[in-house]
Amino acid sequence: MKRTSKCMKGITIGLVIVVFFLCIGMSDLHSGECEKAFMRCTEDPFWGATPFGVVYCITGYVFCKKYIEG
Amino acid sequence: MRLFFALFMLLVPFCSAQGTHLEKIVLEEVLTIGNFDDDSLFQWVGVAVDSEGTIYVTDAMDYSLKKFDASGSLLAKTGRRGQGPGEFSAPRLLDCSKQFLFVTEQYQPVIKVFDKKLRYQFHIPLVGPAGDLKVLEDGLVAVVVLSANGQSHLEFYDREGKIVRKVHFSERPSSLLLDMVSFDLDSQGNVYLAYNFVDKIVKFDDRGKKLWSKNLLGIKQVKSEKISSYLVPTEIVYKDVALDRSGNLYVLGGKFSANRSRDVYVLSPDGELLSTLTLPDTSHCIYIDGENFLYSRANEGVTLKKYRMVYK
């Protein structure tokens, strides 16, 4: 009985830790919207192929950070 | 005599401290344009107000330039998705002169110029995409332009697209994004810059000489992330700046402010922090018109708010 209780306690603590890290992961996912858009832009052959194209990705990224990041 | 001298020396710092008193600024909402129940605005980006109080707005969602009267009624709208004259692919920044409205595009190195009836007039070619825009007069605009090497410059263009003046403010040889700035100009030609990814606010005189530099938040360096092959700063420090009628500088803070994207720091023309005010909603920009009304965003771009600033 005592052993089962200890096991439950361990599982609960483990679950709390997992939920905590999931929450951190979720907030990272949310804050990374502009970074993902920037990556997609630089990997796009139309924009990312030339240094001049990348500056459009940069201004798009700045706009995204200003507009979306609250 | 010695006692008088000692008293005088004690009073000098006290008197000078009184000259730099902090003011409390209270915002009183006077106008709301757009809400979730109407289709006045979808995702507004740029705002400008002329001397008659007419409000002009760029809307990214429906690729348009809109004109509202001082009471917030929609008077006219122009634009549709496209690359042609009077069309927009991604309308962004906006400013106005006596005669014209100037609109930047996200993906085109141009400023599109319209008259006050929203009729397309001409465009001003730029050497790169615009990061910020201020109009000085009908035929002269100041633009932060990002060049191919990733450096930003403040350039002054005439209506033909000829660069008539250039201000170099970058202090780093290669600094992707770290010299992206928002700026404003006062009537003497002084330039105020707030760096988007560095805790730095700088004032230059009309000849490009640095007058002062401030860091308000004590941020040494923002976090960066390697994306593709680029080291990209990921935390925005300052979002926008605007000068009021008295020449005080308003700086909208970003991630590091106590109230993210809501705190506005008010600095004197000498760079002294006078006050901090907090917007009711997060905003990407601030705009102050000729009557000292402050405009900012609400409802994530569906709403434009106009506030009276009351100094207490």
Give the gap in angstroms from C-alpha B1 to the nearest C-alpha of chain A: 60
Q: Do B230 and A59 touch (CB under 8 A)?
A: no
Domains in chain B with CATH codes = 22-311 (2.120.10.30)
Are the CB atoms for B121 and B100 separated by under 8 Å?
A: yes
At B277 the pLDDT is 96
- Inform me whether the C-beta atom of residue A35 falls under 8 Å from chain B C-beta atoms: yes
Residue B179: per-residue pLDDT: 87
Q: For residues B95 and B104, is the Cβ–Cβ distance under 8 A? A: no
Give the pLDDT score at B48.
98
Considering only CB atoms, B131 lies closest to which of A34, A38, A62, namely A62
pLDDT surpasses 90 at B297? yes
Give residue B228's pLDDT.
86
Rounded to the nearest angstrom, the minimum Cα separation between A20 and chain B is: 22
- What is the distance between the alpha carbons of residues B285 and B190, in angstroms, rounded to a whole number? 21
CA distance to partner chain A, nearest, from residue B10 (Å): 46
Give B132-186 pLDDT, tens digit per residue.
Answer: 999 999 889 999 998 877 788 899 999 999 999 998 887 766 567 888 999 999 9
Q: Which of B107, B225, B255 sits opposite A56 (nearest CB)?
A: B107
Q: Tell me how far apart the alpha carbons of residues B158 and B142 are, in angstroms, rounded to a whole number.
A: 9
Distance CA A61, CA A49 (A): 17
Which parts of chain B fold into alpha helices (H)? 2-19
Q: Cα separation of B59 and B280, whole Å? A: 22
Q: For residue B6, is pLDDT > 80? A: no
The answer to whether A62 faces chain B, any CB pair under 8 Å, is yes
- Given a cut of 50, is residue B68 above it in pLDDT? yes
Helix (H, G, I), strand (E, B) or coil at B136: strand
pLDDT mean over B30-43: 96
Residues 91-130 of B with CB under 8 A from A: 92, 106-107, 128-130
Give the tens place of pLDDT for each residue, B24-36: 999 999 999 999 9
Answer whether B301 sits within 8 Å of A61, measured CB to CB: no
Say which of A35, A43, A54 has its CB closest to residue B234.
Answer: A35
- In this prediction, residue A69 carries a pLDDT of 80
Share of residues in chain B with pLDDT > 90 (%): 80
* A45 in contact with chain B, both atoms CB, cutoff 8 A: no
Lookup: tokens for B19: 């000259």
Query: How many other C-beta atoms can be found within 10 angstroms of the C-beta atom of residue B77?
Result: 16
**Any chain B CB within 8 A of the CB of A55?**
yes
Model confidence at B275, pLDDT cuts 50, 70, 90, reads: very high
Lowest-confidence range among A21-35, B67-81, B112-126, B211-225?
A21-35
pLDDT value at residue A13 = 57
Q: Does residue B97 register a pLDDT over 80?
A: yes
Q: What ipTM, to 2 d.p.?
A: 0.88
Residue pair B43/B302 in contact by the 8 Å Cβ criterion? yes
Residues B259-270 have pLDDT tens digits of 999 999 999 999
Rounded to whole angstroms, the Cα distance separating B151 from B170 reads 7
